[in-house]
Amino acid sequence: MANAYRGEIDATIGGKSYRLCLTLGALAELENAYGEEDMAAIAERFQSGRLKSCDAIRIIGAGLRGAGYVVSDKDVAAMPTEGGAAGFVNIVARLLRATFSTLDAAENPDET
């Protein structure tokens, strides 16, 4: 079971259950990919709620790699999920919330 205090979530992608976590290394990967200076800039980038499909691929890929899976962004792009694009958006939203929320929010993941 995912540990919300560590910023982890569980998600089903391609019919398999995965744990995702944006570790410091995964966040550094995203900073580099987007040319951002820090973690706050990464958080601000996605606060608007606007998300490109390539953003979802990068974030989910970084979250999988942060949790220890050996998977490329190309692999992630080929994986289906229940709910299609909306399913991927849900995974990204939960992962970003788990990463950047306070512990109170982690204790109550259904509250926004």
pLDDT in tens, 74-97: 999 999 999 999 999 999 999 999
| CA gap 42, 96 in Å, rounded | 10
Is residue 18 over pLDDT 80?
Answer: yes
- By the 8 A CB rule, do 21 and 59 touch? no
- Segment 34-49 mean pLDDT: 79
Q: What pLDDT does 104 receive?
A: 53
Instruction: Name the β-bridge partners of 95.
Output: none
The DSSP call for residue 37 is S
> Confidence class of residue 1 from pLDDT cuts 50, 70 and 90?
confident
Alpha helix (H) ranges present in the chain?
24-34, 39-47, 53-66, 73-77, 84-100, 103-107
Q: Which residues contact 20 (CB under 8 A, 6 or more apart)?
A: 8, 9, 10, 11, 60, 63, 64, 66, 67, 91, 95
Structure tokens at 106: 């982690």
